[in-house]
Structure 1
């Protein structure tokens, strides 16, 4: 569905519907003509009588034009989940449908509509994979506790994936990236897993990538992926690495990891986050990346600033002068260096230049998680609607009015100060616009070339 604007919008009070600094935006809400829904028959099913909306938009790839229609490929993430209190010192997540399998889908934009169809479940030779976390102890595990909607602990899954980006493999299939491992995964056009890369380690699910990226923050693995014209695959770690639990709040950059599938050769580059605008460096998040040429790419940087205001900016990033961090990690991880120390070691981070501030164009969603280039003057961005699901605290006790005031015991209960509490974590629908999958087609004032 294309969002239409009242006549007053053309005064540019709401820039998404008009020319704003020579940008033009066509905004759509993604719909599902085949009535795709995620089954949900759990404890709070009465709040979701039709099931859950499918949450596409974790990645976006322009595929082709068919007449005037635009065809995109997209992926979901690990499935409908919601935040829940910690289990001791471990994070926990509620999985509304633990059997959900991440999906590859097609989005067609045309005739004023954006429609998602042709769902393919990600699978391997053993069948569909899941979105559940990996077992504790494996390289790639987030050490999260997976819970069902009654707060009972769920089993982990060595084949679990949390897909967050998509780019073509040049052979009719795609490369995906994942937040767990973090992994880089090659699939065919039907969603079958052909190859998987992950941090190299004895207890890992997959190898071939530099081991240092195992220090990604939990749920902050690879968030964007792109294939360069020369065939290299580059994946972006969402946020700063937390090496030995000591670097996430102070590192000046996050890592872009390159692998050449033909040779297996890897490299890593530092993308300099806008560290001065965040309360802590860990608050910066990458949304997606897409290649411009063999040295440049577009990158979404986003996150809450010092005033808790969301920012969503697209940068042109230049890797031509950036140092390969692999050459320096053996001495000391550059995440522990300040600007002067990086300079003294001869470490150069990538260059960057702002292309567009999505907020200034009227973007209201918290995150932009997918981005792709349509032509030299047009890009598209999309959000992930988190399957229209949120967790809320019911029946709080006294002054303990926030979910973080409690812990979960993995046996169906919330506890407060070590004692079982009457409070509950309930699942409820998200309100609009957060519950919507919005896809924007943005015409730029100048060519990307």
Structure 2
């Protein structure tokens, strides 16, 4: 058995002390310095679940970044959420499949378990669970009669885990909150966000763009509330403003508390969110570029206390993923390491100065690392210049 990562995250409840830096639009002064790459591992793009079912029929038969669909088995891809386990493994959420409701009916939704071996630069797939609805909690018709959930039914993009071991997922088709047991069975009907409707939701007039639902979902340190962050702006809100909604696990309803995360540009999107303490969370903010066109891939520390009273979460730059120091040339890369992917949708706190970050490779569509070649799923760890305490 591999040695687990050294993880010792304590309760982070102290004020942040950071060195001064110049602030970008929407960013508060006092950002951290340049983060350093410490570990690198990758899962090949063409990694499939053995002896599973065919997938990708709606993608056609022409090669995409050198890979020809359809596929004989289910791809292990599209990591859109991450949960750390105590043994050095990680549970990762695969999103809806191939990007749309229309082309993902043969992609079974799944939580996979990964074991990164950073010494070798590889990642093992150690198992996982398929998401199902055997108790018929979902009120609309599903794609499969056996009630295995597919990318045509839901688009889960964020994940967290409660103290009881059950999973909460944030979806984009509702947007909904979804509660699953440890075997992947849905425990209750999807919980809709009051007054907000994606185009895929038949319950109301759409006021949220497609694929802009719950991209960030995090559990409070006391385990009693969820914070769910939309990826897109609700119609009528200020451009580039994203609602962060509080949900009570005790009452199984939204509390009515809401904060605003303001993007640096309305053209940006968020990729993930994870709680640091009861007031602060880390948020990935990105542009839509890849490879040579990728410019903005950042991790911010967002503070609910709004110390400047502008109505938005205060933002402090923690790491610029397009400018990571790599003096030891980890992974065989140069002294400046970049993470130039369209979608970077996973961040996890490993200790008070170390983060784990994964990309969503949008298999087989993204080619941010090498033009014309489908991206692998990359797992990096970075060391921050300042403590999160």
**2:20 corresponds to which residue?**
none
Q: Does 1:219 align with 2:211?
A: yes
C-alpha separation in 2, matches of 1:71 and 1:309: 30
Q: Which residue of 1 aligns with 2:141?
A: none
Task: Tell me the equivalent position of 1:103.
Answer: 110
Residue 124 of structure 2 is matched in structure 1 by 115
More strand by share: 1
Mapped to 1, the partners of 2:354 and 2:379 lie a distance apart of 13
Say whether 1:445 aligns with 2:385.
yes
CA deviation digits over 1:289-315, x for unaligned, max 9? 00000000000011148x964311000
Matching residue of 2:80:
58
In the aligned structure 2, how far is the partner of 1:350 from the partner of 1:202?
21
What is the distance in 1 between the residues matched to 2:205 and 2:350? 31
Verify the 8 A CA contact 2:36 2:383 in the aligned structure 1: yes
1:260 pairs with 2:258: no
Q: Does 1:431 align with 2:372?
A: yes
The CA distance in 2 between the partners of 1:202 and 1:291, in whole Å, is 24
Correspondence 1:349 to 2:312: yes
TM-score (norm 2): 0.71
Which of the pair has the greater relative contact order for Cα pairs under 8 Å at 6+ separation? 2
Q: Distance in 2 between matches of 1:101 and 1:34?
A: 11
Select 1:24's aligned residue among 37, 40, 51: 37
Deviations along 1:72-123, one digit per CA (max 9) or x if unpaired, are: 11111111246xxxxxxxxxx651x523221111111124222223131111
Aligned CA distance change for structure 1 residues 257 and 214 (closer, same or farther; 3 Å): farther
Q: Pairwise mapping of residues 136-155 of structure 1 onto structure 2 (< 5 A)?
A: none
CA distance in 2, matches of 1:202, 1:304: 24
Q: Does the 8 Å contact 2:113/2:127 carry over to 1?
A: yes
TM-score, normalised with respect to structure 1: 0.62
| CA-to-aligned-CA distance 1:17-49 (integer Å, 9 cap, x gap) | xxx945233121125586477624744188247
Q: C-alpha distance in 2, partners of 1:38/1:255?
A: 38
1:97-154 Cα distance to aligned partner (Å, 9 max, x none): 523221111111124222223131111124212221xxxxxxxxxxxxxxxxxxxxxx
Equivalent in 177, 186, 196 of residue 179 of structure 2: 186
State whether residues 55 and 387 of structure 1, in contact with CA within 8 Å, keep that contact through their aligned partners in structure 2: yes
Is 2:181 aligned against 1:168? no
Deviation at 1:215, TM superposition (A): 2.4
Give unmatched runs, 5+ long, in structure 1. Answer: 1-19, 83-92, 133-159, 276-280, 323-342, 391-429
**Structural RMSD (CA):** 3.4
Q: Would you tell me which structure has more helix in proportion to its own residues?
A: 1
Q: Larger Rg: 1 or 2? A: 1
Q: 1:22 to 1:358 in 2, by over 3 A?
A: closer
The aligned runs of 1:371-390 (5 Å cut-off) are: 371-389=347-365
- Segment of structure 1 superposing worse, 284-293 or 119-128: 119-128
What is aligned with 1:360? 323
Q: How many residues align?
A: 311
Query: Which residue of structure 2 aligns with residue 155 of structure 1?
Result: none
What are the ranges of 5 or more consecutive residues in structure 2 without an aligned counterpart?
A: 1-32, 137-146, 325-337
When residues 59 and 36 of structure 1 are mapped into structure 2, their CA distance, relative to the original with a 3 A threshold, is: farther
Query: In the aligned structure 2, how far is the partner of 1:34 from the partner of 1:202?
Result: 35
Match of 2:300 among 308, 315, 337: 315
- Compared CA separation, residues 186 and 255, structure 1 to 2 (3 A): same
The one-character-per-residue Cα deviations of 1:185-220 (angstroms, maximum 9, x if unpaired) are: 11111111113311237999xx9xxx9996221111
Other-structure match for 2:192: 198
Contact 1:36-1:53 at 8 Å conserved across structures: no
Give the 3 Å change call, closer, same or farther, for CA 35–435 of structure 1 in structure 2: farther
Q: Is the 8 A contact 1:34 1:117 kept in 2?
A: no
